[in-house]
Structure 1
Amino acid sequence: MGIAPNHSSLLPKTTHRISRKWSGRAVIGITFVCLISSLSIRFYSEPRLDIGTFVDQDLRSPKSIEATDIEATRQAKEIAKQQVIPVYRSNPEFDASAVKHLEELLQVGDNLRISSGNLPYVDRQILSDDVQRYLRRISEPEWVQLQDKANKLATNVSNQGSISSAITSAINRDKESPSVALAELTTYKLNALPQDYQRLLNKITEVRRAYAMTQDKAAKGPEMFRDRLLEMSNEEWENCKKLTRQALLDVQSAGIVAGLPDDMLLKRLTNLSNLPINEDHRMMAIALIRSTVKPNLTIDYVGTTERAIKASESVQTQRVALQVGDLIVKGGEKITERQFVILDELKMTQRQVNIKRLVLLTLTTALAFGIFGYANQRWQYLLKVKLHVKDLLALGIVCTGSTLATVIMAPNMLVFVPLASMGLIIGSFYSSRLALLITLLISGLLTIAISANLLSLAPVLVGAIVAAAITNRPLTRSHLAATGLLVGFLQASVYIAIAIIAGSTPPVLMAITALQYASGGIIAAIVALGAIPYLEHIAYALTPFRLAELANLDRPLLRLLVTETPGTFQHTLFVANLAEAAARELGADTTLVRTGTLYHDIGKTLRPEYFIENQMGQPNPHDLLNDPWESAQIVKEHVSGGIKLAQKYHLPEMLQAFIPEHQGTIAITYFYCQAQKRSDRVYESDFRYVGPIPQSRETGIVMLADACEAALRSLGTDTTLEAAKSLLMRIFETRWNDGQLKDCSLTWEDLDRIAPVFIKVWQERNHGRIKYPNLANKLDPSGSALPDHLCETNDLETSASQTAVPKKIALK
């Protein structure tokens, strides 16, 4: 990674280095103090008599006091939560389901009534409803006997001449037959035509047959229809259906709680006022509603929880009155939480600074800083990062914030600690190796700071370490979100494993706590995604997300490059392709290389006509100047001017570094030679760029790509690979011998690996094409339209087919 440029300063280079050195030391010192302060919060006033401590003598109250009774307060809060009336939420889908079920049952009833023959099945002036019911249900012998009696009675009536007296005397003589049925049947026989009477008998016989078959169906159908349905008249059935529908809607609109006991539901239905008056019909309506009613009130757990929390918070702190000399803790017993709170209010817990733990924590933190410093100095290549002062500041903020949150949230809120966000953030900015190193060091310090809650902290530490190990400059933000889910699952799994081994956690509590640990992983991802945009304005390094945003060609500076200097833009794209391929070969940051290359020549937008790629055949302004010193100064200004443009548009410093470092301190050879021809007093420094030379592998790669771009463009397609590589290696050697690559960690072996990559990109860009006939150049250089005579063949079949197309042009 390049250094933070400040090329407008007139201070010597050594002064800048000293300033950066002391700035870095100041940041490290502040971070050290902040970490110590955060980790040792509990040690500044640690009680000597803590919860679980044995006392060797009775502890009594030295004065009268009303102390906090934490157990009584906890019990009062719990009772308040339990007494909260749940909040219910109505579900219209259940209401619709209940109505649908009722309609299905009523349809079953309609079908049974239709199959049995609706009541009345004959005119009520002929037979009453009760008689019609009776005639349907009597047995076949009874039906035959009733017909015989009606015939005999009708004959007697005809002989006696008086219809009513004869029927009455016949009924009185035969007490075994239902008098009304016999009387109505005989009366109709006497008054109606013989064919009408026979038609009535046939109808009754048909209905009896259908009724018998329907009785078998009803016996297998819904229970509420077995005894009552078929005995109802049409009017009674329609009225019953109407009242039942309305009653169901009333019950559902009033609300039915899930789990309501059956006796309470039956009592509620019995007390409904809009049911049928007839007892049998009423019982059937209740049975229908009871079988179709659906519980439509579900507990709103969020609302109920909020109500319970409010009820718990409204409970006043319970206090216990203590008199002088009252026993608080008996000698030989452990101090409970309730006793500890009382002792602490009486200032009897003997709070003091834990010097030993503070010294241990300070020494351990110093060791951790020493390991980090050694790794940053000696293992830069292994960690794949070169840290700057701003990076140290960002790391200090992340580490201090993570440790402070962990210490403050312990022990009650440890399950929600977003410690994994530290690894997610550092891995996104730098590398997984640096994130893993820092996470391991911070984890070790946390185990000392909150050792009493080590088992509760273990799942969080495992999740943080895994998050750091698998986060290596991800290209998308969704990777962080997915990692948060993985960390949550891992933390929950580790907790469940510990709980099972311990074997003392109830399953329900284990499940709830596991979900809390899982939510901690998701919270870590949310914290990381929210913090990264702010940290990008503090840190020197940039995340791949930010680099991708800055590589958008709609950014103001890049849009200016495209519109004002099209030739430079094409040059930039070719250099970017070369540099990205080389960075991928060496394992460097390809996203940084490509984005940095897009901005490396933005200074040419200030005076584009002075650079040959933008002249487009126009006269060269340098020829008009005829002054190599001024021309060299103009060329050098594309670096200084580019830096000013970048600062004006707030381009991050990491990308600003590509502007001067891609030129380093190389000499502008052409104008230097021109000046030597004109004067004997020529200073080489006047024709060298200000620098600095490349400070990272990425800027070093861009320097080589920029130097080789023009040379590769000049090569023909018939150039051999050996000649192309020899040309590139001469350019590399020039830069190497000029000392331009000494600070960027590139080795000669790296240069030997880069050369074939550059040649491959050049070959892909300059692939060969078919050479079309000379005449084609006059018509269409692409060769897609040729005169017919160039495509003639001796094949007669082919010639015949060509006559079907136009004479002038042969299609593709």
Structure 2
Amino acid sequence: MTWVAPGGPAADVSLGDPSAPGDRPPTPRHPLDVPTIRPPLPPPSQRPRWSLRQPLALIFTVTTLTGLMGQRFYNQPGLDVGRRSPTTILASESATVEDVKSTEEKRKAARTGSIPVLKVDSSLNQQIYTDLQRWVDQGQAIRQALGPFPPIPFSQIPASVQLYLRDVEESIWLTIVETVNRSRPNPSPNPSVPVPRSTPDPANTAVLDEATRAATDQAIAALTRYRNSYPTEDYVALLRKLFQARENYQLALQLMETERQSLTPPLEDASSTVAIPLIYKSEFLQISDQVWQETQQGIYRALERILTQGIAPGVPSDILDRAVRVQVKLEVPAAGEPLAVDLLGRVLQPNLIQDADRTKLMAEQAADAVEPVYVTSRQGEPIVKMGDEITQAQFVLLDHFNKSERSANVWGLVSFGLVVTLGTGIFVLVSWRCHPKMRNRDRLLVMFFVLSTPLLALSTPNVTSLEISSLPAVGILMGSFYGSTLGSVTVGVLAVLLPLGLNMDPDIVVASAASGLVAAQIAGRLRSREELALLGAGVGLTQALVQLLLSVSLSAAAGPVWSLLLKVAAVQGLQGLAWCVVALGLSPYLEHLFDLVTPIRLAELSSPNRPLLQRLALEAPGTFQHTLFVATLAEAAARALRCNVELVRAGTLYHDIGKMHDPEGFIENQMGGANKHDQINDPWRSADIIKKHVSEGLVMAKRCRLPKAIKAFIPEHQGTMLIAYFHHQAQQLEREDPANYGVNELDFRYPGPIPQSRETGIVMLADSCEAALRSLKDATPEAALAMVRKIVRGRWQDQQLVESGLKREEMDKIAETFVQIWQQFHHKRISYPAAIGPALAPPVIPGPGASPSSAAVKS
């Protein structure tokens, strides 16, 4: 790094290792390494002393938490379930005792394991009937294209022959007709007899397989017999009917092919091709019209019966298929059974849905119907024998006869205290790392959050569904006040201690802990109350989802009782949302009561609509503009150094509010008028006026109830700096008249303290550099950087930053950031020529071939 003084040569002041070995040649000393005189130690009465307050507070916290959350250890049975009895214990009298725990478990199992009540979905039934009618209509269209079947009574031509002649190949058909025509003795030409369109090939019959040859011979025999038995006119009519039946059959086949193509996905969608079975196949054309009509009627009757009985969701396909076949067999002719099974299999789907109201009613009735579990004993009989493991029923009897040896479990309480100590220690370590300057009031607030959680849990009834856990509120408030890390640790520690000490339901604790962790992680990043309110909805949803997942995974009968599980999840979600509403309402009061600065509060304090900032803009406009520029510089530097940007922005806006006590005493508010200090002509009084803006600013901040972190910017941004201008005037007066004037440097120094944090240190540097940067007009960035470095070096050498936590190597980054912001504010603009006219006149753009001078003349 090189410090460059304005108008002077550059001096090498590299920030290397200052501890160079002694045998090296001397190197120029860094300007920040000049010897300084440390301030004297404060008197003993003001020195920080080690105190027992913090250890005592830690002991008190651990003891209180252990005593409050360790309720289960105060009256714990010595002979509990699962332990072995040291002796044989006899019943002192006959008794019948209710086992409340077992009864409640059975009722819970009956409530969550009850079978849901189903009801028929009429709208779905209507959809099924509509789908079936669509398929039946398609089949009817195919049958209409096929024509009436059989075209000839089976008594004249057998059914097998008619079916064979309808779909046989054209060449075989022609051979059959020609053979029958030649078989009649003394045939005479008859123009009414159909003549084949082509000449039959006798060789076709020679290559037929045995089955086809037999069917062909049967057809020739049947037609020959008909021709010989009936007049020629009847035979001609028969052939015409067979010709028409063959044409209709081909048309029906074309319709079925069209159906096949409509069900097959296109080629470009081959990746999703699924084999879709056809409903109507060639076998469909073999049944008679009567069978088709009976099949339709039977299908509708079978469907009505199946839908009336209902199809439950999740029924295996093989069971449904068997049920369909049974119903079809009762209602449909044997020839139509395959078609009916295919049609019903295509349209049937589960039509039963859960009736939530009746399911809930039945679940409650099932729980009420559970008989209480009683355990009986007879006088003199052993309740438990020596060495036996105690069961739940035996424990109920032991507890009833006051033989369970209830007493304070000291070792259990001590063990729980160790767990509390471990959790508290983890919290303390994390707080030291994340918030090393935590105040006593902060510790008191954290203790309030921690203690309120078990107190609220103890105040609720001993019913699992009504247990309350305030972990969502703790997560939101701790995350907002102290950050996500400390908030998450607090929620995590409480989530471990609650079920151990208070025996709370782990499901509820886990669900509330999950929502609390979500709240702690997000709350610290929010910048408005509206965002915090939206977070409440997310927290409630998280708690509901986690509760639902736990209920589903831990319940053996979760499948059929979704309505009950959703109800429990909804209750937990509403609890999480309610705690967020409570936290949102409490946060403003806690912020003021415990003097906390959260990102949301800092954003609210930074609003220009705050009354104090509006007063500053009206009464001291020059100071307000100065404040805005300083805020811009300081915010950029804080962002570069990863400091609290929101705190720097808010603190800078209020750092000079004290100048409102005498605005004209500061040059930025004089607006080019007479300088008030020239009229005073007393450097001591002028210095008092200047210093008074610190004390008056603190008074105004207190009156407006600004947080302590914001008030710290008012004195610390000036530290103990020297008011050099009036100090120089006082020295001149002393040299001219030493008898009447004596200069004490403390009279011209601010009272302090010097910056105690990185944020106030950054604001001090920004405040010191703002006026110098604003005074630069045509300076180069290099010259501006040299001047800023000189100012920063002066503050460093004056020991103003020694307690701020800022490091020497960060000074360069701060100076460079200030100059970058200065460049953004003081960028150059285009200087328009005077010929253009007034500044507000729009420029005239010259057209093609026009010169700039002619355009100027037109304007």
* 1:808 and 2:849 aligned: no
The range that moved more, 465-474 or 651-660, is 465-474
* 1:729 and 2:793 aligned: yes
> Among residues 437, 455, 460, which one is paired with 1:386 in the alignment?
437
Partner of 1:37: 67
CA contact (8 A) 1:776 1:785 kept: no
Deviation at 1:314, TM superposition (A): 6.0
Partner of 1:206: 244
Partner of 2:758: 697
Q: Distance in 1 between matches of 2:722 and 2:148?
A: 115
Are the structure 2 counterparts of residues 81 and 448 from structure 1 closer, same or farther at C-alpha, using a change threshold of 3 Å?
closer
Q: Distance in 1 between matches of 2:185 and 2:246?
A: 20
Q: Distance in 2 between matches of 1:593 and 1:668?
A: 24
Q: Distance in 2 between matches of 1:313 and 1:729?
A: 83
Identity %, equivalent residues: 29
Partner of 2:402: 347
> Among residues 762, 766, 769, which one is paired with 2:822 in the alignment?
762
Deviation at 1:296, TM superposition (A): 2.6
The gaps in structure 1 that reach 5 residues or longer are 1-13, 153-175, 191-196, 500-504, 789-799
Q: How does 1:12-23 map to 2 (within 5 A)?
A: none
* 1:333 and 2:394 aligned: no
Give the TM-score normalised by the residue count of structure 2.
Answer: 0.61
Query: Deviation digits for residues 46-82 of structure 1, max 9, x if unmatched?
Result: 2222222221211222233322236863674377348
* 1:119 and 2:170 aligned: no
Q: Distance in 2 between matches of 1:329 and 1:660?
A: 78
**Which secondary structure state, in structure 2, belongs to the residue aligned with residue 571 of structure 1?**
helix
* 1:544 and 2:582 aligned: no
Q: How does 1:677-756 map to 2 (within 5 A)?
A: 694-718=755-779, 720=783, 721-734=785-798, 736=799, 744-746=804-806, 754-756=814-816
Q: Distance in 1 between matches of 2:97 and 2:428?
A: 51
Deviation at 1:331, TM superposition (A): 1.0
* Alignment-mate amino acid for residue 118 of structure 1: G
Q: Distance in 1 between matches of 2:426 and 2:414?
A: 18
Deviation at 1:688, TM superposition (A): 8.0
Are the structure 2 counterparts of residues 777 and 288 from structure 1 closer, same or farther at C-alpha, using a change threshold of 3 Å?
closer
Q: Distance in 1 between matches of 2:407 and 2:184?
A: 115
Q: Distance in 1 between matches of 2:297 and 2:665?
A: 95
Are the structure 2 counterparts of residues 403 and 751 from structure 1 closer, same or farther at C-alpha, using a change threshold of 3 Å?
farther
Q: How does 1:397-796 map to 2 (within 5 A)?
A: 397-400=448-451, 426=478, 429-430=481-482, 446=497, 474=525, 533=584, 534-535=586-587, 537-538=589-590, 540-548=595-603, 550-551=605-606, 567-601=622-656, 613=668, 635=693, 639-640=697-698, 642-643=700-701, 646-647=704-705, 654-659=709-714, 661-662=716-717, 694-718=755-779, 720=783, 721-734=785-798, 736=799, 744-746=804-806, 754-768=814-828, 772=831, 775=834
Q: How does 1:243-258 map to 2 (within 5 A)?
A: 255-258=310-313
Q: Distance in 1 between matches of 2:114 and 2:341?
A: 33
Deviation at 1:592, TM superposition (A): 2.3
Q: Distance in 1 between matches of 2:514 and 2:221?
A: 92
Partner of 1:51: 81
Q: Distance in 2 between matches of 1:572 and 1:810?
A: 46
CA contact (8 A) 1:421 1:524 kept: no
Q: Distance in 2 between matches of 1:448 and 1:617?
A: 72
CA contact (8 A) 2:659 2:666 kept: yes
Q: Distance in 2 between matches of 1:253 and 1:665?
A: 93
Are the structure 2 counterparts of residues 470 and 283 from structure 1 closer, same or farther at C-alpha, using a change threshold of 3 Å?
closer
Deviation at 1:86, TM superposition (A): 0.8
Q: Distance in 1 between matches of 2:309 and 2:627?
A: 74
Q: Distance in 1 between matches of 2:621 and 2:122?
A: 65
Q: Distance in 2 between matches of 1:700 and 1:751?
A: 11
> Among residues 99, 119, 140, which one is paired with 1:69 in the alignment?
99
* Alignment-mate amino acid for residue 803 of structure 1: A
The gaps in structure 2 that reach 5 residues or longer are 1-43, 166-172, 187-219, 261-276, 735-739
Q: Distance in 1 between matches of 2:667 and 2:779?
A: 25
The range that moved more, 99-108 or 458-467, is 458-467
CA contact (8 A) 1:88 1:297 kept: yes
Partner of 2:11: none
> Among residues 395, 417, 421, which one is paired with 2:446 in the alignment?
395
CA contact (8 A) 2:658 2:694 kept: no
Give the TM-score normalised by the residue count of structure 1.
Answer: 0.64
Q: Distance in 2 between matches of 1:582 and 1:432?
A: 24
Q: Distance in 1 between matches of 2:308 and 2:669?
A: 79
Are the structure 2 counterparts of residues 571 and 75 from structure 1 closer, same or farther at C-alpha, using a change threshold of 3 Å?
closer
**Which secondary structure state, in structure 2, belongs to the residue aligned with residue 396 of structure 1?**
helix
Are the structure 2 counterparts of residues 108 and 263 from structure 1 closer, same or farther at C-alpha, using a change threshold of 3 Å?
closer
CA contact (8 A) 2:476 2:516 kept: no
**Which secondary structure state, in structure 2, belongs to the residue aligned with residue 349 of structure 1?**
coil
Q: Distance in 1 between matches of 2:698 and 2:46?
A: 18
**Which secondary structure state, in structure 2, belongs to the residue aligned with residue 63 of structure 1?**
coil
Are the structure 2 counterparts of residues 144 and 216 from structure 1 closer, same or farther at C-alpha, using a change threshold of 3 Å?
farther
Deviation at 1:143, TM superposition (A): 8.5
> Among residues 320, 343, 349, which one is paired with 1:294 in the alignment?
349
CA contact (8 A) 1:603 1:639 kept: yes
Are the structure 2 counterparts of residues 150 and 406 from structure 1 closer, same or farther at C-alpha, using a change threshold of 3 Å?
farther
The range that moved more, 429-438 or 52-61, is 429-438
Partner of 2:367: 312
**Which secondary structure state, in structure 1, belongs to the residue aligned with residue 96 of structure 2?**
strand
**Which secondary structure state, in structure 2, belongs to the residue aligned with residue 802 of structure 1?**
coil
Are the structure 2 counterparts of residues 691 and 254 from structure 1 closer, same or farther at C-alpha, using a change threshold of 3 Å?
farther
CA contact (8 A) 1:604 1:642 kept: no
* 1:102 and 2:163 aligned: no
Q: Distance in 1 between matches of 2:582 and 2:755?
A: 31
Deviation at 1:44, TM superposition (A): 1.8
**Which secondary structure state, in structure 1, belongs to the residue aligned with residue 854 of structure 2?**
coil
CA contact (8 A) 1:568 1:601 kept: yes
* Alignment-mate amino acid for residue 343 of structure 1: L
Partner of 1:792: none
Query: Deviation digits for residues 14-51 of structure 1, max 9, x if unmatched?
Result: 99999xx9998997676444322234223222222222
CA contact (8 A) 1:572 1:601 kept: yes
Are the structure 2 counterparts of residues 264 and 439 from structure 1 closer, same or farther at C-alpha, using a change threshold of 3 Å?
closer
* Alignment-mate amino acid for residue 709 of structure 1: E
Q: Distance in 2 between matches of 1:624 and 1:350?
A: 93
Q: Distance in 2 between matches of 1:541 and 1:90?
A: 60
Are the structure 2 counterparts of residues 361 and 247 from structure 1 closer, same or farther at C-alpha, using a change threshold of 3 Å?
closer
CA contact (8 A) 1:475 1:545 kept: yes
CA contact (8 A) 1:579 1:701 kept: yes
Query: Deviation digits for residues 80-118 of structure 1, max 9, x if unmatched?
Result: 348734144777896577456535533541453244x22
Q: Distance in 1 between matches of 2:253 and 2:810?
A: 97
Deviation at 1:295, TM superposition (A): 0.8
Deviation at 1:332, TM superposition (A): 0.7
* Alignment-mate amino acid for residue 634 of structure 2: A
**Which secondary structure state, in structure 1, belongs to the residue aligned with residue 638 of structure 2?**
helix
CA RMSD of aligned residues (A): 6.9
